Amino acid sequence: MKANFSFLEYSYNSKLGSPSALFKRLETLGWTLRSRHKKSGASIWNHNKSIMLIKDNPDITSVAKATGLGFMIPSLQDIELPDTELDPDTGFFVHKNKQHNFNIYLVSESLMSQQVEKDYQVINDRPAMDSPGLEITSGVIIENSDNIIKDLLAQIGFVANDTGDFYTRLVCPTSKFTIMIDKNNNSGIKSYIMDTHDVFKATANYTLRDIKLLDIEHDHENLELFGKLQHKIVGYNIKAWGNEESYSLENVIPGNKSLPTNIIFRQRKQYLKVNEQTINYY
Kindly tell me if the per-residue pLDDT of 162 is higher than 90.
Answer: no
pLDDT band at 212 (very low <50, low <70, confident <90, very high): very high
Residue 179 backbone dihedrals phi, psi, to 5 degrees: -120, 120
pLDDT band at 100 (very low <50, low <70, confident <90, very high): very high
Residue 281 backbone dihedrals phi, psi, to 5 degrees: -65, -40
Average pLDDT for the chain: 91
pLDDT at 11: 98
* Number of continuous H segments (helices) and E segments (strands) in the chain: 6, 17
pLDDT at 188: 95
Are 231 and 36 in contact by the 8 Å Cβ rule? The answer is no
For the residues of 253-273, what is the DSSP string, one character each? E---SSS-SEEEEEEEES---
Kindly tell me if the per-residue pLDDT of 276 is higher than 70.
Answer: no
Least confident interval from 39-53, 161-175, 185-199: 161-175
Kindly tell me if the per-residue pLDDT of 275 is higher than 70.
Answer: no
Strands across the sheet with 188-196, in order? 159-163, 167-171, 178-182, 134-143, 188-196, 262-269, 247-253, 239-242
Kindly tell me if the per-residue pLDDT of 273 is higher than 70.
Answer: no
- Looking at the DSSP bridge assignments, the partners of residue 72 are 4, 107
Q: Which of 47, 9, 40 is nearest to 26 (CA)?
A: 47
Q: How many residues does the chain have?
A: 282
Kindly tell me if the per-residue pLDDT of 3 is higher than 90.
Answer: no
pLDDT at 175: 77
Kindly tell me if the per-residue pLDDT of 17 is higher than 80.
Answer: yes
Kindly tell me if the per-residue pLDDT of 274 is higher than 80.
Answer: no
pLDDT at 271: 66
Q: Which of 174, 104, 89, 114 is nearest to 140 (CA)?
A: 104
